[in-house]
Amino acid sequence: MSTTTPHRKRDLFVEGAIAPAFIAESIAKHATRTDIGGHEIFLGQVRADTIDGRQVQAIDYTAYRDMANEGMAAIREEAFTRWPAMTCLHVHHSLGTIAAGGLCFVVFASAPHRQQAREAVAFVTDEVKKRLPIFGKELFAEGGHVWKENR
């Protein structure tokens, strides 16, 4: 892909949990591409952590949507600049309440060679967590919440 032409801006967000079938369909759509030699996928899933003796049953995700989408566009451009041979980059993050076990974050990259896809996915995953205004309120089974801290 050209590094001089900006890539199409996309809405990062999905309402609710990300369905495994959605991910499978995305993978299947790439089967006709003969310039791809490797795919890499990161799947983020809500954990049933125990915090101060209370178990997380879900995370309620909110975001400054416009700001996050602008930030994601910048991260995408950085990724395509660093790995210009990368052919595809898809990123989705949930909004709303996602139960423990549900998928809430997906980063999917394709490239002619696996290492490019691996490096791009690691970079994008880390940058989304560091830079985008996405917030998670961890909800406890017995009531109450704490704000999630990215580590």
Instruction: Let me know if residue 5 belongs to a domain.
Output: no
What six digits make up the tokens of 134?
């996405």
Domain CATH code at residue 74: 3.90.1170.40
Domain membership of residue 96 (yes or no) is yes
Q: What is the pLDDT of residue 2?
A: 41
Give the count of beta carbons closer than 10 Å to the beta carbon of residue 53.
7
Mean pLDDT by 10 residues, the chain (151 residues): 58 96 93 91 96 95 97 96 96 98 98 96 97 97 89 68
The count of structural domains within the chain is 1
Residue 114's domain comprises 13-28+35-147
**Does 8 reside within a domain?**
no
Rounded distance between C-alpha atoms, residue 117 and residue 81, angstroms = 13
Q: How far apart are CA 16 and CA 108, in angstroms?
A: 19
Looking at residue 39, its pLDDT comes to: 94
| Rg for the chain, CA atoms, rounded | 16
**Global pTM?**
0.91
Residue 19 belongs to some domain of the structure? yes
